[in-house]
Amino acid sequence: MKASQEPINNFSDDTSSENQDRFGIQVPSPLDVHEDCAFEGAMSILVPITDAAHLIHGPSGCISNSWVINNYPSSNSTLHKVRFTTDMEESDIIFGGAKKLDKAILELVRRYKPAAVFVYSTCVSALIGDDINGVCKNASEQIGIPIIPVDSPGFVGRKNLGIRVAGEALLEHVIGTAEPELTTPLDINLIAEPNSAIWINILPLLEQLGIRVLAKITGDAQYQEICYAHRAKLNVIIDSKPLLKMVKKMEDLFDIPYIEESLDSVEDINQCLRDIVAQLGDSELQTATENLIVQEISALDIKLAAYRIRLQGKKVLIYTGGRRSWLLISTAKTLGMDVIPISSKKSSKEDRARVKKLLDKNSIILQQDNISEVVEIINHHQAQMLIASTHLQSAAHLTNIPFLDINQQSHHSYVSYAGIFTVAQELYATLYSPIWEQVRKAAPWE
Amino acid sequence: MAIVSITSTSVAVNPLKQSQAIGATLAFLGFKGMLPLLHGSPGCSAFTKIPLAQHLRKAIPLSSTAMTEVSAIMGGEDKVEQAILQLVQSYQPEIIGLCTTGLTETKGDDMRRFVKDIRYRYPELDHIPIVLVSTPDFKGTLQDGFAAVVESIVKEIPQKVEQCRPQQIALLASSAFTPGDIQEIKEIIAAFGLEAIAIPDLSALLDTHLEHEYSGITTSGTTVAQLGAIASSVFTVALGESMRGAAKILEKRFNIPYEVFGELTGLDATDKFLQALADISGQSVPEKYRRQRRQLQDVMLQTHTYFGCKRVTLALEPDLLSSMVTILQSMGAQIHAAVTTSRSPLLEKLAIPCVTIGDLEDFEQLAVGSELLIANSYASATSQRLQIPLYLQGIPICDGFRPTVGHRLGNAMSNKVGYQGTMQVLFDIGNLLLMP
């Protein structure tokens, strides 16, 4: 539990200030719906390194998480889809699991020949005090490939903390450990939390401009490219607070400037491309970028036109907070829909400011966050659609309006110009779905 | 007679087994007003919820005691107490199901004492039964966690009663049975004029409540009152070998005779079950099932050519494995290899040469050369790599390797029991074997 102590002390930028423990971490309550842990965060950020083996040093319960983060695309190796675990059992807990871990590393390297091994500690292995740092160091010396310990017991904090822990592990053990064959003045690192859409939809745009993404931290990444990350000319960090610390450290250590970008609306995407090019300081590239933007936007406009006709002026209630809500809000606005934002009492000041900026109006703050309150708002504003998480679904049902689940996992890519179009399609499909009438209809004999 | 072999490696690759807490939570979902509560970190409860939510496509009510680093070191007792008090106040549960995790078991929290202390301090909680199960994830598997809940419930809740209700039977169904299966079983039992109290009653998961507001407790299932009345049953029908322990407890406590039915898929298995129901109820087998039986025989004639001598490799929990092996063999298919998660007295009795307790890597190696795979969604990558069709069984069934890509629909409704369900299984597997 050594490495986890330091980030805990520095962990202060989480939302609310109520209910914090002495480290300034929000103390979770059993009623808290947010359920994640540091281990999950660490895994989620590192597993997209596709040619490395990811070994969980813990009992079988922690593995069910790792099956979940499985949809990361890969253009090369698919080793990251193989689940490795020491599968700790009772005897390992009594006698210690370090020996088993050592054997596991040797065995999996022999059989699967990974580019590197990431070893994740879990609550149980941290609690019994297995020295994973020592084991990894020894094994690495013995085998000659990088074995990287990730000190990520779940109980140290929430997902965001785990993402930081992963960033620190990369800085400490990976970045700067190898030199690229060649560098160009247009080399950048793209740093984002692993939403596959970012990599699918943004990379082609950068490629068109001739910008080379040296390291993708992390999405469809090769171990080697992350070692090269210290030679990039610019770090572009997209919507990832927890990795900000890593990027700042890279600025100190390797003198790489960084820019923070978001991709939640058409303007954001335009801005992101412009910022990157401005930082790289190439005037020819600037004209090319403007051309690309014009081209993409007009293409998007043509595609959106049909949807705009049907969606314009519709009143929609959107529960704010979370990545998807920003996208939905900005797209709904682009389509000329009338968005009424609602948010819970718990939502952060920052989120509220964001709504204000995006829509030029304040969000309605729910006092109880319950159904009847939402029903009242729907009736009062004559809203025609509700976009929220499942717990408010019945408000839509009671008022007979269509409902879109904001958290419903979906395979669509919501990022970039292509993503905006997908969101528009989804808004249309929900609002005009013929099912709403049917599911609310009573049987003829009732 | 099968030889049970255990592969001994230090690294499990693509593990097959799932944690006991998942099984326990699944079992808790079959009771009404149940508050499933995990004594562990919020992460633990997320990892328990996610596979179930993907499998059943439902919001899973499961709370955690929300352990943090500080409480992991300092103590868990007040966390359990706080959680119970807060949750009882917010959700008004009728029964609480309390599971442990690897984290809290490693720490050594004495749950029995915690619960005793809480009971002593808060007499206002007296009317709420607390079902305690030990489900560390470094021990046992999903099937064990599920069985542990059923055992714990029959041990704690039913009360002694004087009168016996001749039409009432207790139904204990293991984790091998889907909500759709339970629904079909209950219908069959009802057709004999019997009333089954199911522990747990997963078929309740099929009742959707559009009006219902999300809450931390279950909204349908077997009620505490029904559980209390279990003792007046005349017979216990235990489905799945893992239910034997619970059936024995009922026999010991209330003198209720029991019979364990290993499976309800296949002609023989269903025959045996219906005969038993006819004996218990004193009624003859309803015409509906006589007719279905003739249909099944006809379907077996139609489909057996596709099964004959086909080599099948399975990776399933022991109860389900045994059931699938039996139906396949009864159709003339050959068991190429079988992998399972944990020890069970069933394994030695299987009429195959060898059973391996191992992971999906073992499965992948053993499966080479077979023509059909049967396992849960985690085996879909194996199926793709080996280019062998996969028939999905077990938990979870979601869209294989890409859970975020629209989960597979309709698992909960699927039915593999009785004559009707057997026909469906034969069609489903037959269609896979039929594919070029």
pLDDT mean over B178-187 = 96
Q: What percent of chain B has pLDDT over 90?
A: 71
pLDDT in tens, B42-54: 888 888 988 898 8
Of the listed ranges B227-231, B246-250, B376-380, B399-403, the one predicted with least confidence = B399-403
CA atoms of A255 and A349, how far apart (whole Å): 33
What is the pTM assigned to this prediction?
0.90
Helices and strands (H and E) in chain A: how many: 19, 13
Classify each residue of A281-308 as buried b or exposed e, where b means 16 or more C-beta atoms within 10 Å of its C-beta.
ebeebeeebeebbeebeeebeeebeebe
* Predicted pLDDT at A6: 43
CB contact under 8 A, A35 and B43: yes
pLDDT of B242 > 80? The answer is: yes
Of the listed ranges A306-310, A413-417, B5-9, B399-403, the one predicted with least confidence = B399-403
Distance from CA of B3 to the nearest CA of A (A): 23
CB contact under 8 A, A85 and B11: yes
CB of A284 within 8 Å of a chain B CB? The answer is: no
Which A-chain residues 180-239 have CB contacts (< 8 A) with chain B? none
pLDDT in tens, B250-309: 999 999 999 999 999 999 999 999 999 999 999 999 999 999 999 999 999 999 999 999
Q: Are A103 and A75 in contact (CB under 8 A)?
A: no
- What are the start-end ranges of the H helices in A69-154? 90-95, 98-112, 123-127, 132-143
pLDDT truncated to tens, each residue of chain A (446 aa)?
Answer: 444 444 444 444 444 444 555 455 556 677 765 678 899 999 989 999 999 999 999 998 888 877 766 667 788 888 988 999 999 988 999 999 999 999 999 999 999 999 999 999 999 999 999 999 999 999 999 999 999 999 999 888 888 899 999 999 999 999 999 999 999 999 999 998 876 677 778 888 999 999 999 999 988 899 999 999 999 999 999 888 899 999 999 999 999 999 999 888 889 999 999 999 999 988 889 999 999 999 999 999 999 999 999 999 999 999 987 777 888 899 999 999 999 999 888 777 888 888 888 888 888 888 877 888 999 999 999 999 999 887 788 888 888 899 998 876 555 567 788 888 988 999 999 999 998 888 888 888 98
Q: Are B265 and B425 in contact (CB under 8 A)?
A: yes
DSSP code string of B165-233: -TTEEEEEE-TTS-HHHHHHHHHHHHHTT-EEEEES-GGGGG---TTPPP-SS--SSB-HHHHHGGGG-
CA atoms of A256 and A383, how far apart (whole Å): 48
How large is the ipTM? 0.89
pLDDT in tens, B202-228: 998 888 665 556 678 898 899 999 999
CB of B88 within 8 Å of a chain A CB? The answer is: no
Question: Angle B59-B112-B114 (CA atoms, 0-180°, nearest 5)?
Answer: 80
Which residue in A334, A341, A342 sits closest to A312, CA to CA? A334
Which residue in B358, B324, B320, B354 sits closest to B340, CA to CA? B358
* Predicted pLDDT at B89: 92
Distance from CA of B360 to the nearest CA of A (A): 10
CB contact under 8 A, B211 and A371: no
Q: Are B155 and B30 in contact (CB under 8 A)?
A: no
Which A-chain residues 401-420 have CB contacts (< 8 A) with chain B? 409-411
Of the listed ranges A37-41, A252-256, B330-334, B415-419, the one predicted with least confidence = A37-41
* Predicted pLDDT at A18: 45
CA atoms of A152 and A126, how far apart (whole Å): 8
CB contact under 8 A, A88 and B46: no
* Predicted pLDDT at A78: 85
Distance from CA of A400 to the nearest CA of B (A): 12
CB contact under 8 A, B46 and A35: yes
Nearest residue of chain A to residue B23 (CA atoms): A61
CB contact under 8 A, A86 and B15: no
Question: Angle A53-A57-A61 (CA atoms, 0-180°, nearest 5)?
Answer: 105
Return the residue in A8, A91, A103, A123 with the most chain B beta carbons within 10 A, the one to mutate for interface testing: A123
CA atoms of B430 and B132, how far apart (whole Å): 43
CB contact under 8 A, A62 and B65: no
Return the residue in B69, B74, B211 with the most chain A beta carbons within 10 A, the one to mutate for interface testing: B69
Helices and strands (H and E) in chain B: how many: 17, 15
Beta-bridged to residue B96, according to DSSP, are B35, B130
Which A-chain residues 67-106 have CB contacts (< 8 A) with chain B? 67-68, 70-71, 81-90, 92-93, 100-101, 103-105
Q: Which residue in the block uniquely carries the two structure tokens 């080697």?
A: A224
Cβ pairs A/B, distance under 8 A: 202
Mean pLDDT computed over every residue of chain B: 91
CB contact under 8 A, A107 and B10: yes
CB contact under 8 A, A58 and B103: no
* Predicted pLDDT at B292: 97
- What are the start-end ranges of the H helices in A209-317? 223-227, 244-254, 266-280, 283-311
- What region, left, alpha or beta, does residue A257 occupy, with left being phi > 0 and alpha being psi -120 to 50 degrees? beta
* Predicted pLDDT at A360: 85
